[in-house]
Each structure stands twice: as C-alpha cells, then as structure tokens.
C-alpha cells in the first residue's frame, strides 16, 4: 500500500471519530490493519474488533475531470503572468459540470464492495465489518440528504440484503458524517418521499482571480467552460480497495 493512500484513509477514519464513538464507544485504531479491509478499530468496552472498508462513491469520470490539472495549470499560469504584466484578468470558467445525485448515489457506490465481504469475514478476525463511504460532491449538511438520500440508501441496501454491518457516509465538503445503513435496523417500508425528485450538485472551477476580487458563482456557471468533460459511454465509480 502506498503511503499516500494510507494517509488519506487514516485521515478519513479520523474524520468520522464522533460517529464511531456514538456507535461503539471509545476505541483505538489497529495500526496493523491496512488492507482487506482498509482499517480496523478495537472497541475498548468489549474488546470487539471492527473491520472498516473505505471507498469513494463518486464516479471516476467526475473525479478525474475536476482533479485533472495538466490542462488547467498552463491556463492559470498564463492568467497570472498576464495579470503581473499589465494588471489584466478575466473571470474565466475553467470547468463546470452538473453532478446527478440520485436516490441510489450511495448504494450504487458501495455495491462493488459486496463481493469482498465473504473473504474479509472468513480471513479476518472481525466482530463486525462496516463501510466508510465518502463523497466530494454529496453533502451531509443539507435537508435533502437527511430526508432523501439517507432514507433511500437504507431502503435500497435493505432490499439488496447488503451484507456489511453498517455503512457510514462522510461528506468531504462539510466534514460531517452520518450512519446511513445498519443491518440490525433495516428499512421496513419503501420511503414515502418520491424517488423521482431530482437532486444535483453544480460544481464550477474558475481560473486565476486576484486577491480582493469578488466573483459571482452563478455568473461563472453561466459561462462556457474552457475545459469540457470527456464523454464516456459507461459510468464507473472511483473505488479504493
């Protein structure tokens, strides 16, 4: 395992400490557990060992688009050079995209981990195995998440007999976490809120903006982007195994 991957996973694990304590009480991280699954904690009150698989639920193409800087970097460098030379600048929109956050955004994102559960259970000494799912785009800190994404995730994972004991969802945006699935507290009925409600995230990245200059987010999103998303026929997910 790379040091960078381990550092990211340990950081994410630290970010959900309040949620873990609420579920299990005080615990210690088992530093020896780094893969298959990605982490583990030892619960102090009963010495139980909880395996934790960590995965992003975001689509690979969305992450790749916003994280790419090979094309964006020269554009920004040129803007900075021009500003330093004659003070000229423009509110350029480098990238923009509308991310569809449907009812199955989380459940579809964790589904690929199903096939790993049996081997983790058979080969590891775990009392429970849970998933830490995270997203750069879906935010916990919204009414839609609580009343739409959370209830639909629990229902869909219940319907599919998802084998992991729990799924904790973490929002990179807000730093907040929420338990979205518990195998012992499964959904008993279909959510009343419509599954056809459209939820999206409008994400935009601008170019160089001088210090002290205010930029309108709406104005940036209304502009045509310089770097367009690559078209892809088949959707995929970014997973961390």
Residue in the structure block whose two tokens are 């309040």: 18
Residue 173: C-alpha distances to residues 35, 105, 142, 192, 214 (Å):
26, 16, 11, 28, 21
Mean pLDDT in residue range 93-114? 95
Mean pLDDT in residue range 203-218? 79
Q: Where is average pLDDT lowest: 52-56, 168-172, 220-224?
A: 220-224
Residue in the structure block whose two tokens are 């803007």: 79
Residue 125: is it exposed, middle or buried by C-beta count within 10 angstroms (0-12/13-18/19+)?
exposed
The full set of domains in the chain, from first to last, is 3-58+104-182 (3.40.1350), 60-99+197-222 (no CATH)
Name the packing angle between helices 17-24 and 3-15 (round to 10°). Answer: 60
27-29 and 128-135 as β-strands: parallel, antiparallel, unpaired? unpaired
Judge whether residue 90 has pLDDT over 80. Answer: no
**Between 3 and 170, residue with greater pLDDT:** 170
125 token code pair: 């000494």
Residue 38: pLDDT band with limits 50, 70, 90: very high
**54 within 8 A of 240, measured Cβ to Cβ:** yes
Residue 167: pLDDT band with limits 50, 70, 90: very high
- Computed over every residue of the chain, the mean pLDDT equals 90
Supply the pLDDT for residue 240.
45
Q: What is the rounded distance in angstroms from the CA atom of residue 8 to the CA atom of residue 105?
A: 22
Residue 215: pLDDT band with limits 50, 70, 90: confident
Q: What is the rounded distance in angstroms from the CA atom of residue 241 to the CA atom of residue 18?
A: 24
In the chain, % of residues over pLDDT 70: 95
Q: Where is average pLDDT lowest: 32-36, 199-203, 218-222?
A: 218-222
């Amino acid at each position: 395992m790379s040091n960078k991957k381990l550092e990211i996973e340990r950081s994410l694990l630290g970010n959900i400490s309040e949620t873990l304590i609420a579920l299990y009480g005080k615990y210690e991280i088992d530093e020896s557990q780094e893969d298959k699954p990605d982490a583990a904690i030892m619960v102090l009150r009963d010495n139980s060992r909880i395996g934790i698989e960590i995965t992003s639920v975001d689509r690979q193409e969305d992450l790749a688009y916003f994280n790419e800087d090979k094309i964006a970097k020269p554009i920004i460098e040129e803007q900075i050079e021009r500003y330093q030379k004659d003070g000229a600048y423009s509110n350029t929109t480098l990238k923009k995209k509308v991310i569809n956050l449907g009812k199955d955004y989380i459940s579809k994102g964790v589904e690929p981990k199903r096939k790993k559960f049996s081997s983790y259970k058979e080969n590891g000494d775990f009392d429970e195995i849970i998933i830490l799912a995270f997203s750069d785009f879906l935010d916990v800190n919204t009414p839609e998440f609580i009343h739409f994404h959370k209830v639909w995730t629990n229902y869909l994972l219940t319907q599919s007999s998802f084998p992991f004991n729990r799924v904790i969802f973490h929002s990179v945006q807000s730093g907040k976490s929420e338990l979205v699935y518990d195998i012992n507290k499964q959904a008993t009925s279909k959510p009343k809120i419509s599954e056809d409600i459209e939820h999206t995230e409008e994400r935009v990245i601008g170019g160089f903006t001088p210090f002290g200059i205010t930029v309108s987010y709406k104005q940036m999103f209304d502009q045509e982007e310089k770097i367009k998303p690559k078209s892809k026929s088949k959707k995929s997910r970014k997973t961390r195994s």
